[in-house]
Amino acid sequence: MNISAKDFGPNFHWGVSTAAYQIEGAHDKYGKGPSIWDDFVQRKKKILNQHTGDIACDFYHRYTNDLTLVKRLQIPNYRFSISWSRILPNGVGQVNQAGIDYYHRVIDFCVELGIEPWITLYHWDLPLSLHEKGGWTNRDIIQWFSIFVETCVKHFGSKVKHWMVLNEPMVFTGAGYFLGVHAPGKRGLNNFLAAAHHAALCQSEGGRILRSMQSNLKIGTTFSYSHIEPFLETSDKDIKAAKKVDALLNRLFLEPLLGLGYPTKELKLLSRIEKFMRQDDEKQLAFSMDFIGLQNYTREKISHSYMIPFMQAKIVKANKRGVPSTLMNWEVYPPCIFKALERYGSYSQINEIIVTENGAAFEDHLIDNQVIDIQRTKYLQEHIAQVRLAQQKGIPVNGYFVWTLMDNFEWAEGYHPRFGLVHIDFITQKRTIKMSGNWYRQFLSKLSEV
């Protein structure tokens, strides 16, 4: 690869992303209340191999070691999420001082090391007590979420500049409230549409709260984005199916935020969201973020299918197409990130895009204290090259964060898919920097060369 980190310019943000439940562990310690994930992992057959995030990478106790690794890898920005129930054990009400102190320690240590902390407010771990009141399907979530946001800004706003309101709302509402494969395991269109609408309202409201409490913050929110194509380019039915899936996966949360409303034209069933809407909601859904976080891993090919309720469309997975793929059965197709950036760049309302996640899970082998993860290294190199191409074409992309620092709890897939730049032995908690981590370090080291 003959581009260097320097080519992206001095203001480009290079980083690495993590999320609280996936790494912290200490799930029931130091005053933390239970979250929907603490509950969900206890249910039978929900998580591969019955894994849980109870201990995960034990980051809670090992954060100095792990942030020192971030420093060793020369990564200038560290993105992490705040566990809502560590700060507010019941979601609202009594603040847990131990939780506040813990995040202060994490932030302070980043700053001490010269690493810039970036906060995601909500990365899927809703306090269980709020779920018991309906969680994201209850409109009161707007009040509960506002309290959480205010609490975080009050405590950490003077130390952290970059904030993201939600992580991938389509994934936590789709998998958690429609398919039931993620916490809290609810199913059905009504649950999904209610959760989606309330999440979309919280997304903009969170932005407004951040801005009103502190005018100097850089405020964003993140979206999953998969480049969508019809399985058969010449089939009208596949073309139509692809447009519907694109509206659902890529536009549902982004476009109302940009003031464009829900994409009901391409996906009629979304008009059923109206029953959850109140006067003024359309206006309330919009907020002008400073940046949009784009999280891209793959492209999807879509075919028409009578069998799939509501959508009449299905994803033709990578293994069925015989294309190179990751352990998640996601196609490896580097131009997808260029196409994603191109699409975001086409919205005049978006001024700055940060790739807040990109990465891959492959079979790793720890041999003689080394993980030679050639495929992941190549994946990162090729995707970064596409980001550069987008930047050269004038698309306002201004950052790239690898998912993720270290192998961690990959939700319903447990610890099986490993995405990290650093290998974790989950029995001994030993950390080993992989070849991809060393490559990223070398790539970033050019930034400090004069």
Give min distance, CB of 90 to ligand IFM, in A: 24
Enumerate binding residues for ligand IFM (CB under 6 A): 19, 22, 168, 295, 357, 403, 410
The CA distances from residue 17 to 117, 147, 161, 359, in Å, are 10, 25, 16, 10
Closest C-alpha among 194, 172, 193 to residue 184: 172
Q: Report helix, strand or coil for 177.
A: helix
Query: With b meaning 16 or more CB within 10 Å and e meaning fewer, what string describes 300-328?
Result: bbbbbeeeeeeeebbbbebeeeeeebbbb
Give the integer Cα–Cα distance in Å for 334 and 2.
16
Which segments of 273-316 does DSSP mark as H helices, in order? Answer: 281-284
Q: Is 382 a catalytic residue?
A: no
Reading phi first (left if > 0) and then psi (alpha if -120 to 50, else beta), residue 446 is in alpha
Give min distance, CB of 189 to ligand IFM, in A: 24
Give min distance, CB of 357 to ligand IFM, in A: 5
Give the amino acid at 344: Y
Give the integer Cα–Cα distance in Å for 148 and 237.
44
What tokens were used for 123? 């990365």
- C-beta closer to ligand IFM: residue 178 or 225: 225
Q: Which of 24, 168, 331, 410 is catalytic?
A: 168
Question: Which residues touch 268 (CB under 8 Å, ≥6 apart)?
Answer: none
Give min distance, CB of 318 to ligand IFM, in A: 14
Give the amino acid at 197: H
Give min distance, CB of 367 to ligand IFM, in A: 25
Q: Is 168 a catalytic residue?
A: yes
- C-beta closer to ligand IFM: residue 22 or 129: 22
Give min distance, CB of 252 to ligand IFM, in A: 16
Helix axes 97-113, 59-72, angle to 10 degrees: 10
Helix axes 189-213, 141-156, angle to 10 degrees: 30
Closest C-alpha among 374, 364, 382 to residue 418: 364
Q: Which residue is nearest to ligand IFM (CB)?
A: 19
The CA distances from residue 325 to 228, 321, 361, 363, in Å, are 16, 10, 9, 11
Q: Which of 24, 205, 300, 357 is catalytic?
A: 357
Question: Which residues form the catalytic set?
Answer: 168, 357
